[in-house]
Amino acid sequence: MSPAQQGEVKPAPTVFVLFGATGDLAKRMVLPAFFTLATNGLLPDEWLLIGNGRGDLAHEDFRDRVHDSLTEFGPQPTREQWHAFSERLRFAGGGFDTTDPGSLLDVIAEARSALGTDAQLVHYLAIPPVAFGEITKALGEHELAEGARVVYEKPFGTSPESFRTLDKTVHSVLDESQVYRIDHFLGKEATQDLHVLRFANGLFHAIWNRAHIRAVQIDVPEKIGVTDRSVFYDQTGAVLDMLVTHLIQVAAEVAMEPPASLSATDLQAAREEVIGAFRPIDPKEVVLGQFDGYRDLAGVDPASDMDTYVAARLWIDNDRWRGVPFLMRTGKRLAFSKQRVSMILREPEGTLAHVPKHSNVLAFSLSGSGEIDLRLVAKEPGAELNLDIAEATIALSTLPNADPLPPYVRLIHDALLGDRSLYTRPDGLAAVWRVFEPLLDAKPKPVPYAPGSWGPAEAAELAAPDGWLLGQ
């Protein structure tokens, strides 16, 4: 059941400004998410979406591009749905910066004339992070910041220094309560279900510590390559694109102390507190890789040493997790695609010896609507006492009344409502950069690996003695 069907209060009339509206991220993720919100009744009764870009598109030309986006990436609109959606789309060309607002001010004025001058402004920056600072300053310069909410795509900075500069710029224009730093892994249904599974079930709450858990693996292999993001990727790589953003946030979801409540303030505080307990990473506990043929891609430096793969071992210096390795792995052109958190449980001492390897595992699939997997030891039916591994899977989509929201849909909806619980805070991001600064200062040289493999063989040592559960 959707939030709207449950009687949740709808957002106020809203003018949604999408910077980078003709870019790759907008067409793949943001525009399809916004259409899903509209068709599920999760938008305000009165709303307009204004796309912004350097080109000078007519409103109708922008609508055609949005339709092409939905045709390619879904969901597919019916004729009636498209008519209702498209009539609310506008485009403001000419770019937008501190010296020249292009046509955006005029188009926003027209939108507010139609919706009411008290309509809230939500700005979404689906642009490269290098442009965040200038757009933020321009919002202040052209009086579009007061009372507005601003959604920033990841990464929020590309180094500790650039993070501090951007954070200072943002807070010179906006109050922290106006800032929404998106990380779509936090919007995944299974990531959110970690809270419920852990805090509502005594069985799992009791074992959520180093006395019962030997290791945690956060594994996000990707079969695809860099697609048409080669220019962006060759300036970013796997470390910045995935490790410094998504994977450590998932680790924080797993590792945080029980919050006082699941309110935005308490949930954010618990997540950021545990990130502060992560030990700065040792570059010797990191393996970087680059798939064969990466340098031949258009837009990639022929001599590039950019990483397309990273495996890392991190440690948390607190009473709950001291001595438990948090293993993270991700990469392009690997054997197959998965998004999985695996908690390897300690085997009980005593009566039964020689239990099967990898037989005590609690795992979560973060893909789609999410799954919970439990692997345990059972007696094989028969005359002999033979041990075997039994597995059970709970697909969250099969729960009664399940109506899962894709991550971008959930997070944009939260921004419209003013709910920041699944967004990151600056203190947590400052701690993230502190954790990864040693690696960024002394990155190992990437090791070549074959497309379709599991990456460099050197990464196996990081996961010893268990090895990586995926790819075994």
- pLDDT tens-digit map of 437-451: 999 999 999 999 999
In the chain, which stretches have pLDDT less than 50? 1-7
pTM of structure: 0.88
User: How many structural domains does the chain have?
Assistant: 2
DSSP letter (8 states) at residue 26:
I
Question: Is 378 a known ligand-binding residue?
Answer: no
The reply to whether 73 and 196 lie within a common domain is no
Confidence at residue 351, expressed as pLDDT on a 0 to 100 scale: 65
Provide the β-strand partners of residue 15.
48, 121
Residue 49 lies inside a defined structural domain of this protein: yes
Question: Is 295 a known ligand-binding residue?
Answer: no
pLDDT digits (tens, 9 = 90+) for 17-29: 999 999 989 999 9
The reply to whether 314 and 447 lie within a common domain is yes
d(CA 122, CA 138): 15
Q: Give the CATH number, domain containing residue 383.
A: 3.30.360.10
The reply to whether 395 and 321 lie within a common domain is yes
pLDDT digits (tens, 9 = 90+) for 78-114: 999 999 999 999 999 999 999 999 999 999 999 999 9
Indicate the SS3 state at residue 215: strand
The reply to whether 189 and 133 lie within a common domain is no
Domain stops at, among 97, 132, 153: 153
Residue 204 lies inside a defined structural domain of this protein: yes
Cβ pair 156, 129 in contact under 8 A: yes
Question: Is 222 a known ligand-binding residue?
Answer: yes
Residue 469 lies inside a defined structural domain of this protein: no
d(CA 459, CA 464): 9
Confidence at residue 263, expressed as pLDDT on a 0 to 100 scale: 82
Indicate the SS3 state at residue 179: strand
Catalytic residues: 246
State the amino acid at position 315 in one-letter form: W
Question: Is 188 a known ligand-binding residue?
Answer: yes
Q: What is the DSSP string of 276-335?
A: TTBPPPPGGGEEEEEETTGGGSTTS-TT----SEEEEEE-B-STTTTT--EEEEEESSBS
Question: Is 22 a known ligand-binding residue?
Answer: yes
Give the pairing of strands 179-181 and 309-314.
unpaired
Confidence at residue 4, expressed as pLDDT on a 0 to 100 scale: 39
Domain that holds residue 209: 185-415+425-463
Give the chain's mean pLDDT: 91
Question: Is 332 a known ligand-binding residue?
Answer: yes
d(CA 253, CA 272): 10
pLDDT digits (tens, 9 = 90+) for 370-424: 888 988 888 888 888 888 888 889 888 787 777 778 899 999 999 999 999 889 9
Q: Give the CATH number, domain containing residue 85.
A: 3.40.50.720
